[in-house]
Amino acid sequence: MTALVTGSAGGIGSSIVRKLVSEGFEVKELDLVNGFDVSDPEAWEHIGSVDLACLNAGVITGDDGQLTELTDDQYRRALRVNVDGVVFGVRRLDRVMPRGSTIVVTASLAGLTAIPDDPIYGLTKHAVVGFVRSVAPQLAERGIRIQAVCPGWADTGLTTNGFRDELKERGFRLLSPEEVAEGVWAAYRSEGTGEAWIVQPGREPLLYEFKGVPGPR
């Protein structure tokens, strides 16, 4: 079995790689540190077929999340990595993956709820969750499943010391990268598609139940 992991050099990415290797996968690691830019559509054109693709690369917007202080570069970078990196990846993988294969996208709990600390990050993760749910039927026609994993804040390089301390002061318990990797594995092992799997400290990975919207009267 073969797999790829984007953002593989980060805390969550490296934990996903270790989990997949322990389960017998041969894993291709894709990260900016080894020259792979998920936001570059041309880079994706050199990626071949795998049985499992974990689209995990992501960035937060800035130090304080204040919209008035947001620069154009910060905004565009968040969109390029968090949204373009998923869309370009899924587009390429849809063309080359075999029937029975799976794509798992690392979204965030910020894609299911408000995140006043970083509204642009919330925007990108809501986009990712919506994209996964909406593209799933197209992929299913070709025998490919796609899932989203939505962890809470994890103790990784993205969480600066100051923000980490602030979260702890506010009563947040940080996830370990290994817990997120287990959530990715649970989403992969599920038989569903277009799902969102919540990962929270002290809980087993949990399938999120979208309530839907009221119909017309």
**Highest-confidence range of 118-132, 143-157, 203-217, by mean pLDDT?**
118-132
pLDDT above 60 for 26: yes
Domain total in the chain: 1
Q: What is the mean pLDDT of residues 12-25?
A: 98
Does the pLDDT at position 133 exceed 60? yes
213 is a domain residue: no
Judge whether 29 lies within some domain.
Answer: yes
DSSP assigned state of 85: H
Residue 216 maps to a domain: no
Measured in degrees and rounded to the nearest 5, phi and psi for residue 140 equal -60, -30
- Band of the pLDDT at 212, cuts 50, 70, 90? confident
Amino acid 148: pLDDT: 98
Chain-centroid distance of CA 156 in Å reads 14
In the chain, % of residues over pLDDT 70? 92
CATH number, position 153: 3.40.50.720
- Residue 173's pLDDT is 76
| The pLDDT of residue 157 | 61
**Residues in contact with 119: Cβ distance below 8 Å, sequence separation at least 6, in sequence order:** 65, 67
Q: Which of 66, 8, 17, 10 is nearest to 36 (CA)?
A: 8
DSSP string for 16-34: HHHHHHHTT-EEEEE-GGG
Chain segment 44-98, per-residue pLDDT in tens: 999 999 999 999 999 988 767 789 889 999 999 999 999 999 999 999 999 999 9
pLDDT, tens digit, for every residue of 145-185?
999 999 998 886 655 545 556 666 666 678 999 999 999 99
Q: What pLDDT is attached to residue 117? A: 87
pLDDT at 129: 98
205: pLDDT strictly greater than 70: yes
| Mean pLDDT calculated for residue range 97-116 | 96
Asked whether residue 124 is domain-assigned, the answer is yes
Question: 212 in a domain, yes or no?
Answer: no
Catalytic residues: 121, 125
Q: How many CB atoms lie within 10 A of CB 54?
A: 34
Which 8-state DSSP code applies to residue 151?
E
Distance CA 150, CA 147 (A): 10
The range of the structural domain enclosing residue 115 comes to 2-207
Average pLDDT over residues 103-129: 96
Question: What is the pLDDT, as a whole number, of residue 73?
Answer: 94
Q: Examine residue 88 and state whether it is found in any structural domain, yes or no.
A: yes
How far, in Å, CA of 217 to CA of 215, rounded?
7
- Is the residue at 217 inside a domain? no
Task: Give pTM, 2 decimals.
Answer: 0.92
**Residue 95 has what DSSP assignment?**
H
Mean pLDDT over 18-37 rounds to 98
Is residue 80 domain-resident?
Answer: yes
